[in-house]
Amino acid sequence: WSSDVCSSDLFAYSGFANATVITMEPGDRYADHGFVYTAGIYDILFANPYNNPIAGYITVLTSGDYVAFQHIDGATISLSSSDTWDFTGAFWAAAWENGNILTLEGYNGTNLLYSTASILSTTTKLWIQSDFIDITKLSITTSANQATWDDFTYNQSDATVPVPEPATLALFGIGLAGLGFARRRKAV
């Protein structure tokens, strides 16, 4: 009985979730991933819309030519299916005003599960590692009503990945043991 056969079979059934990055580029925006958002969020903003080198749009640009932008407090992002998801993090910058306080809140339904606050600058890109797990909604609030971000990283929650029942796993294990026993018996 070969241990690599067993480990490769178990890996195939494990259902590990991988993080996904939304780059805000054409074809890679929130709607392309099943998300909806409230008024006040734009995920189609060219990173230098005003040809202004002091704006944070260029600062936060991480991939491609486009970034997201928020200008209304309490703007939210959710999956259109209302499923839970995990928000890993994103690169953030203030759009216009240094010292802009960004508050991110993760909700499951109406229950606030997570909250984090950070100070944003127009000249420094900041990766905010949020690790909000099993949320249905992300709320974005800023003290100056203008934040910009790129490379929004998320994944479907483990709760949405089907997990085999214990009886199924037991049958699978018995089957593997039977195969190992048959191979050993054949070798003798």
Average pLDDT of the residues of the chain: 81
Report the pLDDT value the prediction gives residue 159, as an integer from 0 to 100: 46
Instruction: Compute the average pLDDT of residues 103-117.
Output: 97
More confident position, 69 or 169: 69
pTM comes to 0.73
Instruction: Compute the average pLDDT of residues 30-53.
Output: 85
Please check the confidence at residue 60 and state whether its pLDDT lies above 50.
yes
Question: What band does 74 get if pLDDT is binned at 50, 70 and 90?
Answer: confident
More confident position, 177 or 106: 106
Which pLDDT tens digit goes with each residue over 116-133? Answer: 999 999 999 999 999 999
More confident position, 23 or 144: 23
Please check the confidence at residue 10 and state whether its pLDDT lies above 90.
no
Q: Report DSSP letters for the chain, one per residue.
A: --HHHHHHHHHHTT-----EEE--STT-SGGGGTEEE-TTEEEEEES-TT--TTSHHHHH--SSSEEEEE-STTEEEEETT---EEEEEEEEEESS-TTEEEEEEEEETTEEEEEEEEEE-SS--EEEEEEEEEESEEEEEETTS-EEEEEEEEEE-GGGS----HHHHHHHHHHHHHHHHHHHHHH-
